Structure 1
Amino acid sequence: MILISKDDIKKIFTMSDAIEADKKAFMLLAEKKCEVPLRTKILNKKDNGCFIFMPAYSEQAECAALKIVNVFPDNVKIGLSAHPSQVFLINPHTGVIEALIDGTYVTALRTGAASGLAFKLFAKKECSIGAIIGTGGQALCQIQAMLAARQLKEVRVCGRDFKHTEAFVKTVRHELKDSSVSIKAVRTADEAVEDADLLISVTPSNLPVFDAGRLKDGITVSCIGSYRPDMQELDPKIFKRCKKIYFDSKSAVLEESGDIIIPFRNGTIKEKDFTGDIGEYLLGRIPGRENDDEIIVFKSVGVAVQDLVTAGEIYRRAVEKGIGTECIF
């Protein structure tokens, strides 16, 4: 077994690679060529946390994996990741664990890549302004994915605490020092979304974090943060304006995300309003953007096949290049 760290991954795997891995993963899901049970979740109400277990197997991809990802938003107060995680990559023929991979970074990569892929497929060709609401552990990769999908002039960042937002923006600028894009901290969501072509919301909020009435026609919105039925960062007023709603997995979203569960239950949206899964679009089964005025929503909760394919690609490259630390039990 080899141990593959975040630094190891950075040497061999880019955001563009992650977007391609997600593309493969969503097609496997749509073709029903993978086994992906709904994740097992155990709540820790005392510590505002959640333990999540996500297994997956694909005969076609010749890979099996189990990701353990624990969501503890308050960890940021003590300098820890809000999403500590590891991915166990398993040999599908023998059941032997072949690699233990930094799941926190794999999660950030493949979650960002889902937004990146959605923007590549559904955003207008000409985009200049991006916006992100949320500055937690997922936010940097979300920005990197946004920039991998479209050549933007400016990305606006909004968080709950402006000082923290400014500090985060400094980190982003350092990470993107070779890019010409302007990264700007703003105080309000209204400032962030004004004239934006792309918008990402990545927060654990129970209340909408932006006003859908302020979005311009043609925007593509990727909602990442709501992973429980009581969480709703997406303003439901957007459903009166948007023309298409895509999912990473409709069944998973309807099981887990208040962004869709709440308006679906109260009748704001109906089954007929759902366009379908992103993998179905990739297979040519459903339509994509039809004009530059359409507002499009992509809702993702993450599915284990993303971890499966991403971890598998990372492992293969690590073996080829001799990256990682050998561990013998």
Structure 2
Amino acid sequence: MLLLSKENIKKVFTMKDAIEADKIAFKLVVEGKTNSPLRTNIQVPKYDGCLLFMPAYVEDMDVASLKIVNIFPRNIEKGMPTAPAQVLLINGTTGIVVSVLDGTYVTKLRTGAASGVAFELLAKKDCKIGALIGTGGQAETQLEAMLTVRDLDEVRVYDLNYERAVDFVKEAERNFSSFKTKIMAVKSSDDAIDNADLVITVTPSTKPVFDGNKIKKGATISCVGAYQHHMQEMDPVILTRASKIFFDSKEAVLSESGDILIPLEEGIITEEDFSGEIGDVIKGTVAGRENDDEIIVFETVGVATQDLIVANEIYNKALKENIGTIWE
């Protein structure tokens, strides 16, 4: 069995690789070629946390996976990951676990890459300003994905804790200096989204974190954090202004995300307003952006097939480059 740490993974796998892997995963989802039951969610109310178990199997590839990811938002106060995780990669012909990967980093990669896929396919070509709301454990790769797919002049970063946003920006400037994009902390979400072409929300908020009336025409919004019914980062106003609303998985979003479930229940939108899944755009069966004035929303809660494809790609690259630790 091959053990792959975060540092091992970084040696063989980039954000561009993750974006391409996510595209494969999203295409498999809409083609019905993956067996990935909705994740098991065990609540840990004592610590505002939850335990998530996410299996997936792709018969055509003879590979399966199980990700164990535990969401504990309070960890940010302890300087610990808010989504600690492991991914078990399983040989589909023998049932043997062939690799255990740092699931925290795999999750960051594939979750950031989902926004990358959305922006690559749905955003205007000429994007100059990005906004990132939230600076928790998933934020860094969200920023990286945004920078990877569009050549931005600046990205504004907002967090309820301004000092945390400042610290995040300092780290981001060190890690992403090659992109030549100005990254700055701002003191309000209004400042973040002002004239922004790309907007990412990645928070555990239970109330909207931006004003949907202030989103400019032509913007693309990726909402990442609302993975439970009571969570709602997205201002429902933006759903009424949006030309198109896409999901990573309609089934998963309608099972979990308060961003969409709450507006549905309140009658603000109906299922007729949905445009489809991002895999439909990848396949070419549904149109993506059709003009530069469209506001397009992408809601993602994550699907286990992403973990499977990303983990499998990492594993194969690591084998070729003799990276990782063999555990007999």
TM-score of the alignment, normalized to the shorter chain, above 0.5: yes
Residue 76 in 1 paired to residue 76 in 2? yes
Deviations 1:96-142 (A, max 9, x none): 00000000000000000000000000000100000000000110100
Residue 320 in 1 paired to residue 320 in 2? yes
Q: After TM superposition, give the deviation of residue 80 of structure 1 in Å.
A: 1.1
Partner of 1:86: 86
Q: After TM superposition, give the deviation of residue 249 of structure 1 in Å.
A: 0.2
Q: Is the 8 A contact 2:68 2:85 kept in 1?
A: yes
Partner of 1:220: 220
Partner of 1:119: 119
Residue 309 in 1 paired to residue 306 in 2? no
2:179 corresponds to which letter in structure 1? S
- Pairs within 5 Å for 1:108-187: 108-187=108-187
Unaligned stretches of 5+ residues in structure 1? none
Q: Is the 8 A contact 1:69 1:86 kept in 2?
A: yes
1:198 corresponds to which letter in structure 2? L
Partner of 1:51: 51
Deviations 1:253-311 (A, max 9, x none): 00000000000111101011000000111112211111100000000000000000000
Partner of 1:249: 249
1:319 corresponds to which letter in structure 2? L
Q: After TM superposition, give the deviation of residue 177 of structure 1 in Å.
A: 2.0
Residue 202 in 1 paired to residue 202 in 2? yes
Percent identity of paired positions between Structure 1 and Structure 2? 55
Distance 1:79 1:182 in 2: 26
Q: After TM superposition, give the deviation of residue 79 of structure 1 in Å.
A: 1.8
In terms of mean alpha carbon deviation, does 87-96 or 58-67 score higher? 58-67
Partner of 2:258: 258
Q: TM-score, normalised by structure 2?
A: 0.99
Q: Is the 8 A contact 2:157 2:183 kept in 1?
A: yes
Q: After TM superposition, give the deviation of residue 62 of structure 1 in Å.
A: 2.5
Distance 1:245 1:327 in 2: 45
Distance 2:310 2:256 in 1: 22
Q: After TM superposition, give the deviation of residue 61 of structure 1 in Å.
A: 2.6
Partner of 2:28: 28
Partner of 2:236: 236
Distance 1:195 1:277 in 2: 27
Q: Is the 8 A contact 2:202 2:224 kept in 1?
A: yes
Q: After TM superposition, give the deviation of residue 179 of structure 1 in Å.
A: 2.2
Deviations 1:65-117 (A, max 9, x none): 00000000001112211000000000100000000000000000000000000
Distance 2:311 2:183 in 1: 30
Q: Is the 8 A contact 2:116 2:149 kept in 1?
A: yes
Deviations 1:163-205 (A, max 9, x none): 1110010010010122210001000000000000000000000
Across the aligned residues of Structure 1 and Structure 2, the Cα RMSD in angstroms comes to: 0.6
Q: Secondary structure at the match of 1:235?
A: coil
Q: TM-score, normalised by structure 1?
A: 0.99
Residue 11 in 1 paired to residue 11 in 2? yes
1:194 corresponds to which letter in structure 2? D
Distance 1:20 1:76 in 2: 30
Q: Is the 8 A contact 1:63 1:91 kept in 2?
A: yes
Partner of 2:298: 298
Unaligned stretches of 5+ residues in structure 2? none
Q: Secondary structure at the match of 2:60?
A: coil
2:153 corresponds to which letter in structure 1? K
Q: Is the 8 A contact 2:136 2:203 kept in 1?
A: yes
Distance 1:100 1:239 in 2: 39
1:261 corresponds to which letter in structure 2? L
Distance 2:230 2:102 in 1: 29
Q: Is the 8 A contact 2:147 2:179 kept in 1?
A: no
1:54 corresponds to which letter in structure 2? M
Distance 1:63 1:92 in 2: 4
- After TM superposition, the runs of 4+ consecutive aligned structure 1 residues lying more than 6 A away are none
Q: Is the 8 A contact 2:203 2:226 kept in 1?
A: yes
May I ask how many residue pairs the two structures share in their alignment?
328
Q: Secondary structure at the match of 2:178?
A: coil
1:49 corresponds to which letter in structure 2? G
2:19 corresponds to which letter in structure 1? I
Distance 2:319 2:126 in 1: 39
2:247 corresponds to which letter in structure 1? F
Partner of 2:190: 190
Distance 2:61 2:263 in 1: 36
